[in-house]
Amino acid sequence: MRREEASAVYIVASARHGTLYIGVTTDLVRRISEHRQEFIPGFSKKYGCKRLVWFEPHESIVSAIQREKSLKRWPRDWKTNLIERDNPDWDDLYDALVAPPQPIPPIQIPPSS
């Protein structure tokens, strides 16, 4: 997902199987950073929802908002299953999102005899 081109729907949690917050943004890295630093008062700050446990990129903000509204209507166990399908340990995905890609080392081919 290229930050400047894509919108995203995301879920942050207070802990594994903790309180969930579902949001939508046009800049996922910035928005999750705001959650982590508790910049914006509201639900996620009140309940400590800082751990990025799931996100889904979208090509348009319109489709992202539609998906967000749909997810908010889902029962909690469906949301839990969505998270655990790709992130069974509820790891915080933020660091992997902001980490620069690691170069692939060249393949060493042994000399032929």
**How do the pLDDT tens digits run along the chain, 113 residues long?**
444 457 999 999 999 999 999 999 999 999 999 999 998 899 999 999 999 999 999 999 999 999 999 999 999 999 999 999 999 999 999 998 887 667 777 777 777 76
Looking at residue 113, its pLDDT comes to: 62
Please give the single-letter amino acid code of residue 25. T
Looking at residue 2, its pLDDT comes to: 45
Contacts of 44 (CB under 8 A, 6+ apart): 12, 21, 23, 35, 50
Q: Where are the domains of the chain?
A: 7-98
CATH number of the domain at 7-98, out of 3.40.1440.10, 3.40.980.10, 3.40.50.12500, 3.40.50.1380? 3.40.1440.10
pTM of the model: 0.83
Looking at residue 55, its pLDDT comes to: 97
